[in-house]
Structure 1
Amino acid sequence: MQQGNYKKRITCKKWSRKRPLFFENMAYFNFDGNAGLQSVFEYDFDVKRIVDELGSIIYGDTIEPGRTLVVFDGIQDCPRAIQSLKYFCENMPKLHIIAAGSLLGVALRQEGVSFPVGKVDRIDMYPMSFEEFVNADGGGKYIDGVCKLRCEREIPELYTVPLEKYLKNYYIVGGMPEAVQVWVDTHDYSAVEEVQDRILRDYADDFGKHTNADTANKVRLIWNAIPSQIARDNNKFIFSHVKQGARAKDLEDALEWLVSAGIAYKLNMVPDPELPLAGMADSTYFKVYMSDVGLLRRKSNVNYRTIIDGDVSYIHFKGALTENYIMTQLKYMGIESYFWRTKADAEVDFITDYEGILLPIEVKSADNTKAKSLHIFCKRYNPRMAVRTSLKNVGDNIDGDTHVWSIPLYTIFRLKEYVAHEMGWE
C-alpha cells in the first residue's frame, strides 16, 4: 500500500478470525495502469479460469487455495475485479483474497458497480490515530501507563508532560503513514513538510484523474476552501464563500466527492438531540473537516514553530485545529458524531449517541474549561454524561443531573472506557 495515501479500503474474503492464518506464498497484483491484468477479468467471471491465467501468465506460479494469499491492489481501477469477489466467495471459498483500493467509494459511485454485499469483509483504514502515533514514536510506555490508571484518577506529571509534547508533534505531523515514518526516522520537521506537500499535490492530481475537468475544478475549490471555512467564527460551511456567486447546487457534488473519497468529513447539525441522532440531523447545515490534522496544519500554512511555542495571534486557529483533531479521533474510533447549535449561538462541538447514550463533547484547545454552551445543553436535555476535553487534567463534577468528565485531549482515545465506566459496563 502506498504510504502517502491517506486511506486504503481493504476488502477481504471472509475467513475465521478465531485462529491465525499462515500462507506459503503471496501472489500480488496491482491494477494501477495495468491493462493486461485488467483484461483477465473482462471475458467472464469463471474464477478457475481467472486464477489459472493470473498464476500462469502474470504471477508465474500456481495459485493454490489454502497455500497462496492473493492480493489485489488498486482494485478501484478494475470494476470487474470488484464484482468478481462475489464469484470467488461462492465458487472458490478456500482461496483467500485481500483487495485494497484508494478512493474506492468514489470509484463505486462513478462506475455504478454492484458491490458484492455480504460476500466480503470491509475494513476502512484512516490516518494513524494519536495513540498509534505515540506508539510509533517510541512513547508506548506513556500510553500503556495511562491506560492502567483508573478513569477517575488524575494523570501524574510523569505522563502529562511528554504526552502534551507528543500532542503538539501530532498536530504538526499528523497521521499519514509516510509522514509519520519520516518523523520517526529523522525528527526533522522540514523533512515531514516535504512529504506533506507531496501528498497535498498528489491529492490535487487525483482530482483530475478520477473526475472530469469541470468536477475536478469544483473539487479543488472546495478543497482549498476548507481551512478558511474551519477558521471562521461561525464555522458552518457556506458554499458562497467558496466562490463568489456560487450556489450550493453547483458545488454539492464536488463536496460529496471529497467525502466519498474520505479526504474530508462532514459534521451535520442536530438542532433537537433526540435519539437516534441520525434521524434528527440537518444535512443542509454542516461543518467540513480534513481527514488529517497534519495536512490541515500544513495546508493552512501554520508554521511548526507556532504549534510548539504558541502565539497570541494563533489562539483562534488553534481552536479550529483542535476541533479537527477530535473529529479525526472520533472517526477513527468509529463513533458517529454531530454538533448542536441554537439560534442564540450556544454550541456544543460534538454530540453522539454512542451505544445509545446521548453524549455531548465540548472541546477546548488549552486548559480553560469554562463551557457555557455545555451547561445550557445539560440543563436542557439532562444527559447522564458529558465530556469536556482540553489540556486540563482528569476531573469530574455534577451539572444538574449530568456527570461531567474532564478528559485531556491526549487521552481522548480512552473515551469508550469512560462511557463504560460511567454506565457500569466494565
Structure 2
Amino acid sequence: MERLIMQELLKWKNSRHRKPLILKGVRQVGKTWLLKEFARRYYENIAYFNFDEHPEYKQFFENTKDVERILQNLMMAGGQTIKPNKPEATLIVFDEIQECPNALNTLKYFCENTSHYHVACAGSLLGIALSKPASFPVGKVDFLEIRPMTFTEFLMANGDGNLVSYMGSIDRIEPIPDAFFNPLYEKLKMYFVTGGMPEAVRSWTEERDVELVQQVLSNILGAYERDFAKHPDPKDFPKISLIWKSIPSQLARENKKFIYKVVKEGARAREYEDALQWLCDANLTYKIYRSSAPGLPISAYDDLSAFKLYLVDVGLLRRLSLLAPSAFGEGNRLFVEFKGALSENYVLQALRNQFEAMPRYWTMDNPRYEVDFLIQRENDIMPVEVKSETNVESRSLKKFKEKYGDKVKLRVRFSLNNLRLDDDLLNIPLFMADYADKLIGMALKQQKT
C-alpha cells in the first residue's frame, strides 16, 4: 500500500541538514513497515534493531556514548551489516526506541559526531517517552508523524487511482459530475467502516471481508487498552480506560464538549487530568480547545476549561462505538449516527494532515451557536462546519460572519452536497476533505476574479 509520507522520508534522506529521525505514531499505524519499505526502495540495505524484541540490546548504551562502539556491538549481536566505507548506503532503524531511554539520548551523539549515518527511530508510545523531562536530545533530531491512512490513500489501496487522479486534477470550484461524485460517496462510507489503520484497510481491499475488518479493529483497540497499563502510576490505568470508553458517549451528545461526569459519576477534572494527558501524549486522542475569538495566533484565544476529545481514527471510533458495518448499506446513516461524530472525526483527521496548528472550535450561548472547527491557514482564521445530512442550513456560520465580519475571508462547510462557492461560503463534499487546503486556496482566488 502506498503511503504519501514516503515523500517526506525521501526529503529527509536527501537533506544536507539531516539529523537522526524520530517517526512518531500510534501502535499498528505502519511505522515499522514504512521504514523497512523506505529502506528497500532507497537504500542498499537496512540494519534493524528492535528494543522490545531484544531487550539485551539496551546494555550497549549503558556505559558508553561512543557511537562507533555501540554500532559495532549491535552489528555483532544482531548479525547486521553497516558498510564502514559507505555508511550512506544503510538505513539504521531503532524500533520501539522508547524501551531504551539511553538510546534516545545517544541520538545527540549520532547528530554531533557521526552525521554520515542515516538513523531512523520508531516507537508506539514515543509520545509518552518524549513527554518525560529526561535528557532528551533537544534540537538534535528531526521529527515526522505517521497518522492513519487518509481517504486518498484508502482509494489508492482499493485500486481507485482514477478517482484520486480526478480529485487531484480539479482546478476550479464547480460541481463534480455524478460519474465521480457517486462512487466517491459510496467509497467514503466504506472508509468510515475500515478507518485508516493499514491492517484494517488491507483486510477490506485484499479480502473484501467485513468480519475480518471488525476483528482487526477489535484487536487494535485491545492492544491500546493493554498499553494503558504502561502508565507509570498504576492508579491511573483504570482512569485512562474509563476516559477512552467514554469518548463515544461524549461525542454522541448534542454539545460535544468533554464532561468528566460522563466518564464517571462525580468525577472531577483534577483526578483525571493526568490520565487524559497520557492519551493525548500517546497520540491516541485529539484535544480540541474552545476558542473565544478568531485571532492570531489561534492558541492565544484558547479557553483551557472547555474542549472536545476525538479519536486518532474514524474506523476505531466506529468500532469503539459498536456501530455495526451494516449501517454502510443504510443511506447516509453512517454519516449522521452519533450526531455526526464520525463525520467530524474524519474531517478533523483530514485537517490535521494539512494545517500546522491544531484546529479549535467556537461557541456562543443564548441562543446557542457552535462552529465545529476553526482552522488557521497562513494568517487567516476560518470557520468550518461539518454537516452529515442533506439539510445544510449553516446558522452558526452565518452568526460567526455577523459577529466577526471582515475578519472572515471564507467560511467552509463539509457536507454530502456538491462542490460549490456561494459568495464567501465554500461547500466541500465530505469525500474531498483531504483537498481542503487546495480548495480553500482556489476559492480565495475565485473570489477576487
Question: Could you tell me the TM-score, scaled by structure 1's length?
Answer: 0.91
- Structure 1 position 31 matched with structure 2 position 51: yes
Q: Does 1:105 align with 2:127?
A: yes
Structure 1 residues 95 and 313: alpha-carbon distance in aligned structure 2, compared to 1, 3 A threshold: closer
Question: Offset of 1:52 from its aligned partner?
Answer: 1.3
2:429 pairs with 1:415: no
Of 80, 92, 95 in structure 1, the residue corresponding to residue 117 of structure 2 is 95
Distance 1:312 1:6, change over 3 A: closer
**Taking structure 1 as reference, are residues 11 and 45 closer, same or farther at Cα in structure 2, changes over 3 Å only?**
farther
3-state SS of 1:353 partner: strand
Instruction: Tell me how far apart the structure 2 counterparts of residues 153 and 247 of structure 1 sit (CA, whole Å).
Output: 49
Indicate whether 1:296 and 2:321 are aligned: no
Distance 1:33 1:376 in 2: 56
CA distance in structure 2 between the partners assigned to 1:334 and 1:314 by the alignment? 24
Q: Deviations over 1:322-374 (max 9, x none)?
A: 11111111112244210000012101101112111111111101222211011
Task: Structure 2: state its 5+ residue gaps.
Answer: 1-22
Alpha-carbon distance, 1:216 to partner: 1.0
Q: Secondary structure at the match of 2:287?
A: strand
Q: Give the secondary-structure state (helix, strand or coil) at the position aligned to 2:338.
A: helix
Matches within 5 A, 1:277-296: 277-296=298-317
Q: Distance in 2 between matches of 1:153 and 1:390?
A: 15
Aligned with 1:85: secondary structure? Answer: helix
Q: Which residue number in structure 1 is paired with residue 400 of structure 2?
A: 377
Structure 2 match to 1:353? 376
AA in 2 matched with 1:230: L
Aligned to 2:100: 78
* Structure 1 residue 3: Cα displacement: 9.8
2:195 corresponds in structure 1 to 174
Aligned pair in 2 of structure 1 residues 140, 60: CA closer, same or farther (>3 Å)?
Answer: closer
The residue that corresponds to 1:307 in the other structure is: 328
Contact 1:361–1:387 (Cα < 8 Å) also in 2? yes
Note if 1:127 corresponds to 2:145. Answer: no
Deviations 1:128-167 (A, max 9, x none): 1111111111112112112212331210011111101111
1:84-124 alpha-carbon deviations (Å, 9 max, x no partner): 111011111111111111111112224x3233222221100
Cα distance change, pair 182–161 in 1 and its aligned pair in 2 (3 A): same
Q: Which residue of 2 aligns with 1:40?
A: 60
The CA RMSD over aligned residues, in Å, is 2.5
Equivalent position amino acid for 1:361 in 2: V
Which whole-Å CA distance do the structure 1 matches of 2:414 and 2:34 have between them?
35
CA distance in 2, matches of 1:68, 1:298: 40
Distance 1:276 1:194 in 2: 43
Is the partner of 2:136 in helix, strand or coil? coil
Checking the alignment, whether the CA contact within 8 Å between 2:188 and 2:431 is kept in structure 1 is: yes
CA distance in 2, matches of 1:354, 1:108: 28
Q: Is the 8 A contact 2:251 2:339 kept in 1?
A: no
Distance 1:86 1:219 in 2: 33
| Aligned residue among 400, 408, 417 for 1:392 | 417
Cα distance between partner residues in 1 of 2:41 and 2:159: 29
How many residue pairs get matched?
A: 414
> Residue type of the partner of 1:161?
N
Query: Structure 1 pair 209/3, CA: closer, same or farther in 2 (3 Å)?
Result: closer
1:158-307 alignment to 2 at 5 Å? 158-307=179-328
Greater mean deviation of Cα atoms: 283-292 or 32-41: 32-41
Over the matched positions of the two proteins, sequence identity in percent amounts to 39
Letter in 2 for 1:109: S
Q: Does 1:153 align with 2:177?
A: no
Corresponding position of 1:16: none
Checking the alignment, whether the CA contact within 8 Å between 1:10 and 1:98 is kept in structure 2 is no
Deviation digits for residues 169-193 of structure 1, max 9, x if unmatched? 0110000011111111111111100
Q: Please say if residues 27 and 124 of structure 2, whose CA atoms lie closer than 8 Å, have aligned partners that are also in contact.
A: no
What SS class does the counterpart of residue 225 from structure 1 fall into? helix
Q: Which amino acid in 2 is paired with 1:51?
A: L
Instruction: Output the CA distance in 2 between the equivalents of 1:291 and 1:29.
Output: 27
Q: What is the rounded CA distance, in whole Å, between the counterparts of 1:139 and 1:311 in structure 2?
A: 21
Q: 1:409 to 1:46 in 2, by over 3 A?
A: same
Report Cα offsets for 1:59-102 as digits up to 9, x if no partner: 35455322322111110111111111110111111111111111
Secondary structure of 1:384's match?
coil
Task: Quote how far apart the aligned CAs of 1:36 are.
Answer: 1.2
Of 407-416 and 314-323, the range deviating more from structure 2: 314-323
Distance (Å, rounded) in 2 between the aligned partners of 1:255 and 1:302: 24
The 2-side partners of 1:71 and 1:40 are apart by: 15
Per-residue CA distance 1:195-228 (angstroms, 9 max, x = gap): 0010011111111134432111110010010000
SS in 2 for 1:389: strand
Q: CA deviation at 1:30?
A: 0.2
Once the two structures are superposed, residues 358-392 of structure 1 have per-residue CA deviations (whole angstroms, 9 ceiling, x without a partner) of 11111101222211011000111120111111010
The residue number in structure 2 matching 1:337 is: 359
